[in-house]
Amino acid sequence: MDPIANMIIGIKNAGNAGRDHVVLSYSKIKENIANVLKKEGFIKGAEKKVVGGKPSLIVSLLMENRIPKVKGVARISKTSKRIYKKASEIRLVKNGYGAVVLSTPKGILSGRDARKEKVGGEILFTIW
């Protein structure tokens, strides 16, 4: 199973179901992705807690008039096929309404931040 795909699909499905938060298994990369999504305005926040004796990541979802902020996600780079882009090749998602999340040598960054820092990397997923 792909933990990043499970995370982003879990966030989208919880929003579509009208929930205000989702509980995910904890990993450092998931926490970094959640921080990027918070910075880009797709979630309220994320915090690490112990639930049932296991570390978990509780992601608070952002709603606008009971409509989830996250309308769609697409996993780009998969375990079977890795997709890498240079900083100059990173494009906008949905004319700027979405975001692309990359794994770069400087950590997990959004496409906007990666272009500013002039660093490329593996495109993990797009969200809108």
**In this model, does residue 1 exceed pLDDT 90?**
no
Question: Which residue do the tokens 């296991």 mark?
Answer: 54
Please state the domain extents for the chain. Answer: 3-68, 73-127
How far is 35 from 23, CA to CA, in rounded Å? Answer: 15
How far is 22 from 57, CA to CA, in rounded Å? Answer: 8
Asked if the domains 3-68 and 73-127 are classified in one and the same CATH topology, the answer is no
pLDDT, residue 88, reads 96
Whether 77 and 123 have beta carbons less than 8 Å apart is answered as yes
**Residue 110 pairs with which residues in a beta bridge?**
101
Query: How is residue 32 written in tokens?
Result: 């970094």
Computed over every residue of the chain, the mean pLDDT equals 96
Assign a CATH topology to domain 73-127: Dna Ligase; domain 1 (3.30.1490)
- Residues 5-33 have a mean pLDDT of 97
Within 10 Å of residue 69's Cβ, how many Cβ atoms? 18
Residue-wise pLDDT for 63-121, tens only, equals: 999 999 999 999 999 999 999 999 999 999 999 999 999 999 999 999 999 999 999 99
CATH code of domain 3-68: 3.30.1370.30
